[in-house]
Amino acid sequence: MRISKYIAVAGVVAVVVGLSACSSTPAGTSSSSEAPIGGDVITPLTVEANDLQGETVDLVVGQVLNINTGDLATDSYTGEVADTSVASFVKGTSGGSAETNPGVEALAVGETEVTLTNADGGIQPLTFTVVVAK
């Protein structure tokens, strides 16, 4: 009986020692002092196309304005950016297994006007301003 008590105590000690060796940071993750893998992520800003007319959209360098086209085909929009050093238009795609919305990517600090037109006709061009900050 006395030997079984020693075996039980030894088992408990082994479990405690084993658990104390575990890290509070899960495997495959970094501690808070390390930079995240891939760097910081800038989330896109999603806006309905109909809400852009005459508006000012604030972005940061590297951020994308995701334009929700509603019922209109995502590839039916074209865009013209006045200052292409500040921002660029990204055409939407349709078909295949994926569909992407059109958008505007912020490239550098500054301000530019963007005009969107729609190939489906009968839709007035959308003109808005993009202001890009650091």
b/e per residue 33-61 (b: at least 16 CB within 10 A): eeeeeeeeeeeebebebeebeeeebebeb
In whole angstroms, what is the distance from residue 83 CA to residue 95 CA? 30
Domains, the chain, ordered by start: 45-133 (2.60.40.2020)
Q: Which two tokens stand for residue 111?
A: 């301000």
Using pLDDT thresholds of 50, 70 and 90, give the confidence band for residue 107.
very high
Which tens digit of pLDDT belongs to each residue from 19-72?
Answer: 455 545 555 555 556 776 777 789 999 999 999 999 999 999 999 999 999 988
**pTM over the 0.85 mark:** no
